[in-house]
């Protein structure tokens, strides 16, 4: 059985080029972040999330206002919570968390993260498969489908999964470049799809739009088996669908390159282009599909809006999102299999991802999955926030695991696990839906981490004072 | 040469989005829009990779929903 020390060394080896703070000469201007956020959030998932709002019976006013407020809250979370810590430490999430939580807890975090990445990439392979299957007259999964619905679906997903995996093995960087080239075009495809089908829904002038939007698109009536979404559902979903990235602090990896913390506001380009305009456009498409009895999967609805270009967009959107996700998952998984070559790890991740993609549930229940994904990782972001801002104010030491050379920080671990337990309790006993758990969860995690750190550091200081009376441990908050 | 690539790329983007508004205005049928959009797609992907600067923070973006 590998020792904990070995696990730590493996993690460090993978991140060996990232352990130093970013140097001054490598800092970037605001343009890089605008492009990066705009590209990252106009992706394959947008073809699924917009239609799911329609399926959940969101009313038009609730959608437009909820997205406006929710996306604003997301931008503020990036700007005021993630970016200031990223630009002050210049470290990525990995190294910051390592200092706070210790390498072994970080190992566990990495594994959870990798599994979530696999499922997210799986959803993207499903999305791409709905475009590939159209020329072969494949039976498309419906909004209510959870399991593979035909042999054609299984074969198509396996084929797409194989191609995505092989391309991820052959060259992540080339595909990342291609993905950036596709970004501006992809956004315009969403706009064009939405605008081109409006006349078929009865919108012939701009003045017609609101009436049609309220009566035919976002009608306020959910589909059978779906919970009705209100303004609050839309707001909280828009705020927390990237919870792992902003209050979960994963975007420290990106924002540590920002010259100023205010570049966190660049996330507005991703939110309002991708999570506003693209979601509205894909909602319009699915409303038309439902009205004319057309299939509602991403491929068919994109074809409805833009023909062949729409199919290309779904394929590229799914593929370019799945690719970096498989790459990231492979990096995390490599900690378990240090003797494997990178291609073997990527292959293993690709197999897990492709098997997950066989289940349309991942795509058709994407809202729930995205909420769960963020919630699982968010508590560690709260731990970083509390460690950075609150512990020094209480006279406690930051980065305690690093200072004490601890392999596992129990305050951080308990803050993570107990928060998730409390969220589960709120969900099961209190009936609080998963979309709303992030907010109380964040405060619970902060309070737990601060309280437990106080306990840990006070106890350690008291023990040190008793056992080494002539040369006591340095006072709390003081570096040795 | 680079200027020509720019022109073709931006023409490609224009062909991707402008025909949709012409459909909305009732000026062209949906089928023409789909054909022009595909032509714009080809024009963009054939030319943009040769000039487009994709430099950004060194770390790859986080996979985000």
pLDDT tens readout for residues B38-47: 999 999 999 9
Confidence of residue B16 (pLDDT cuts 50, 70, 90): very high
A120 vs B52: CB contact, 8 Å cut-off? Answer: no
A343 vs A365, residue with greater confidence = A365
Beta bridge partners of A219: A59
Nearest to A257 among B20, B49, B58 (CB): B58
Quote ipTM for the complex.
0.92
Chain B residue with CA closest to A46: the answer is: B65
Cα–Cα–Cα angle for A86, A90, A94, rounded to 5 degrees: 80
pLDDT at residue A13, rounded to an integer: 62
Nearest to A45 among B45, B55, B65 (CB): B65
Tell me what the mean pLDDT of segment A405-423 comes to.
97
Tell me what the mean pLDDT of segment A15-21 comes to.
65
The answer to whether residue A193 neighbours chain B at the CB level (below 8 Å) is yes
Confidence of residue A4 (pLDDT cuts 50, 70, 90): low
The answer to whether residue B8 neighbours chain A at the CB level (below 8 Å) is no
- Min Cα–Cα distance to chain B from A263, Å: 12
B17 vs A307: CB contact, 8 Å cut-off? Answer: no
- Min Cα–Cα distance to chain B from A77, Å: 15
CB A245 within 8 A of CB A208: no
CB A309 within 8 A of CB B16: yes
Q: pTM of the predicted model, to two decimals?
A: 0.90
Cα–Cα distance for residue pair A214/A59, rounded to 1 Å: 7
What ranges in A365-437 are assigned the alpha helix state H?
A: 366-385, 391-393, 400-404, 410-428
Tell me what the mean pLDDT of segment A42-61 comes to.
93
Chain A residue with CA closest to B63: the answer is: A325
Confidence of residue A480 (pLDDT cuts 50, 70, 90): very low
Cα–Cα distance for residue pair A444/A456, rounded to 1 Å: 18
Confidence of residue A179 (pLDDT cuts 50, 70, 90): confident
pLDDT digit string, tens, across residues A81-97 = 999 999 999 988 888 99
Cα–Cα–Cα angle for A104, A109, A112, rounded to 5 degrees: 130
The answer to whether residue B63 neighbours chain A at the CB level (below 8 Å) is yes
Q: Which residues of B touch A321 (CB under 8 A)?
A: 63
pLDDT at residue A1, rounded to an integer: 44
Chain A residue with CA closest to B56: the answer is: A32
The answer to whether residue A307 neighbours chain B at the CB level (below 8 Å) is yes
pLDDT at residue B64, rounded to an integer: 65
pLDDT digit string, tens, across residues A52-81 = 999 999 999 999 999 999 999 999 999 999
DSSP A229-244: P-HHHHHHHHHHTTTT
pLDDT at residue A339, rounded to an integer: 72
């Amino acid at each position: 059985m590998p020792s904990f020390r070995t696990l730590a060394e493996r993690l460090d080896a993978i991140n060996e080029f990232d352990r130093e703070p970013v140097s001054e000469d490598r800092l970037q201007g605001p343009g890089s972040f605008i492009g990066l956020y705009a590209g990252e959030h106009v992706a394959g998932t947008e073809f699924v999330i917009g239609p799911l709002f329609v399926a959940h019976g969101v009313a038009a006013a609730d959608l437009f206002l909820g997205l406006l407020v929710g996306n604003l809250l997301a931008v503020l979370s990036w700007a005021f919570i993630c970016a200031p810590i990223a630009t002050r430490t210049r470290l990525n999430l990995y190294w910051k968390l390592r200092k706070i939580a210790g390498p072994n807890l970080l190992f566990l975090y990495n594994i959870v993260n990798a599994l979530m990445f696999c499922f997210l990439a799986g959803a993207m392979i499903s999305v791409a498969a709905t475009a590939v299957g159209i020329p072969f007259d494949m039976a498309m999964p419906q909004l209510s489908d959870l399991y593979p619905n035909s042999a054609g679906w299984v074969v198509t997903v396996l084929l797409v999964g194989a191609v995505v995996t092989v391309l991820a093995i052959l060259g992540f960087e080339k595909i990342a470049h291609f993905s950036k080239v596709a970004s501006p075009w992809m956004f315009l495809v969403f706009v064009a799809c939405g605008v081109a089908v409006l006349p078929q829904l009865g919108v012939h002038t701009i003045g017609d739009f609101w009436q049609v939007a309220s009566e035919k698109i976002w009608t306020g009536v959910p589909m059978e088996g779906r919970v009705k979404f209100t303004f609050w559902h839309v707001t909280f979903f828009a705020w927390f669908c990237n919870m792992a990235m902003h209050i979960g602090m994963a975007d420290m990896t990106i924002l540590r390159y920002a010259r100023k913390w205010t570049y966190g506001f660049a996330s507005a380009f991703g939110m309002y282009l991708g999570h506003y305009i693209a979601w509205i456009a894909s909602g319009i498409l699915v409303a038309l599909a439902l009205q004319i009895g057309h299939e509602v999967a991403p491929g068919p609805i994109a074809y409805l809006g833009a023909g062949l270009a729409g199919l290309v967009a779904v394929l590229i959107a799914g593929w370019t999102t799945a690719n970096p996700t498989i790459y990231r998952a492979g990096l995390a998984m490599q900690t378990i299999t240090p003797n494997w070559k990178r291609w073997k790890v990527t292959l293993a991740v690709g197999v897990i991802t492709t098997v997950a993609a066989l289940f349309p549930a991942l795509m058709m229940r994407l809202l729930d999955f995205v909420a769960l994904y963020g919630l699982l990782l968010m508590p560690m972001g709260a731990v970083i926030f509390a460690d950075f801002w609150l512990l020094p104010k209480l006279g406690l030491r930051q980065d305690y695991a690093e200072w004490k050379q601890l392999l596992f920080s129990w305050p951080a671990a308990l803050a993570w696990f107990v928060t998730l337990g409390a969220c589960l309790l709120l969900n099961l006993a209190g009936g609080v839906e998963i979309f709303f758990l992030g907010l109380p969860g964040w405060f619970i995690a902060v309070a737990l981490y601060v309280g437990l750190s106080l306990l840990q550091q006070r106890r350690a200081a008291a023990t040190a004072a008793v056992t080494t009376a002539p040369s006591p441990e340095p006072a709390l908050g003081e570096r040795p | 040469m680079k200027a020509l690539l720019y022109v073709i790329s931006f023409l490609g983007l224009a062909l991707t989005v402008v025909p949709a508004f012409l459909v909305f205005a009732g000026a062209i049928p949906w089928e023409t829009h789909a054909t022009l959009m595909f032509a714009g797609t080809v024009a963009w992907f054939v030319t943009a990779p040769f000039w487009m600067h994709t430099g950004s923070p060194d770390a790859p973006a986080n996979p985000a929903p």
